[in-house]
Amino acid sequence: MMTIADLMDAFGGVTAFGRVIGKSQSAASEMKRRGAIHVRYWPAVIAAAAARGIPGITAERLMTLHAGEVPTPANDTGPSASEDAA
């Protein structure tokens, strides 16, 4: 399963994620705390995830994360916590 926090961690943390979206570490940290990334940043997040080999980050996936839905194993294509640690 992936959360917004997991996604940011997959980028290397809030400082790295902030660079991806052109915001400060504190702004990214607040997004992580809220568990929400404003939709205006989604294109940058999707493109950066693809460039970094972070699989399964699409607009649909981001919508699912923001809706608080828990993906089932059959449709969960994002990295797991164990994959992030590798």
CA distance 31 to 28: 5
Reported pTM? 0.76
pLDDT of residue 86: 37
Q: How far is CA 40 from CA 21, 36, 53, in A?
A: 9, 12, 21
pLDDT of residue 2: 85
Query: Rounded mean pLDDT of 11-28?
Result: 97
Lowest mean pLDDT among 19-28, 31-40, 75-84: 75-84
pLDDT of residue 43: 97
